[in-house]
Amino acid sequence: MCADSHRLGLTANSADVISVESTHHGAYSDMVRLPSAGLDLAECYFCTNDIIAYGFIKALREFNVRIPDDVAIIGFDNLPLSSTMEPPLTTIDVSKRKIGYFAVTVLDDLINASEVQPAVKILVGGELITRSSDVRARQARAATRPPR
């Protein structure tokens, strides 16, 4: 959990935090083992990147877990495949151009400085790209369904 989680009133159950390999195949392989070991799934998982989310979803489908009906998935990176996969992946989009620009600027400062430079943190904003893999998409679909 991030430092803001307490300030925002968010809680996390440590049993819901899953560590998987950071590749598609690694995330898939690690996740395939967990449900068969009796894992109780959380309502939503935020994956460190979209590639992990793809592997995570692939493994969950093998256990007939429906995304987002049973579990919501959110990625990070907004890779092109995220909008075309089934279901389209909700993800966080960050400007790689800005990250690259700031990295080069800091590196240039380090190279050209006459003294050792202190470590710096740079905050780059992101945008939530809402697609069909998260709970809000499920709720929106339920709200627009005609009554039975």
Q: Does residue 118 carry a pLDDT above 70?
A: yes
**103 domain-assigned:** no
Residue 29 pLDDT grade (very low, low, confident, very high; cuts 50, 70, 90)? confident
**22 domain-assigned:** yes
**112 domain-assigned:** no
Report which of 52, 15, 58 is spatially closest to residue 37, judged by C-alpha positions: 15
Report the sign of the C-alpha dihedral through residues 77, 79, 84, 85, in that order.
negative
Q: Domain range for residue 79?
A: 4-93+132-144
Q: Which amino acid is at 21?
A: E
pTM greater than the 0.85 cutoff: no
User: Residue 55 in contact with residue 14, Cβ under 8 Å?
Assistant: no
User: Residue 75 in contact with residue 47, Cβ under 8 Å?
Assistant: yes
Q: Given this model, what pLDDT does residue 1 score?
A: 43
Q: Given this model, what pLDDT does residue 90 score?
A: 94
User: Residue 60 in contact with residue 67, Cβ under 8 Å?
Assistant: yes
- Quick: pLDDT tens for 59-110: 999 888 899 988 899 999 999 999 999 999 999 999 889 999 999 999 999 9
**99 domain-assigned:** no
For the chain, the domain total comes to: 1
Domain with 139 in it: what CATH number?
3.40.50.2300
**71 domain-assigned:** yes
Distance (Å, whole) CA 25 – CA 45: 18
Q: Given this model, what pLDDT does residue 63 score?
A: 87
CA angle, residues 48, 38, 133, in degrees to nearest 5: 40
**48 domain-assigned:** yes
Distance (Å, whole) CA 30 – CA 55: 9
- Quick: pLDDT tens for 31-65: 888 766 666 788 888 899 999 999 999 999 988 88
**69 domain-assigned:** yes
Q: Does residue 144 carry a pLDDT above 70?
A: no
Report the sign of the C-alpha dihedral through residues 30, 35, 37, 43, in that order.
positive
Distance (Å, whole) CA 26 – CA 104: 31
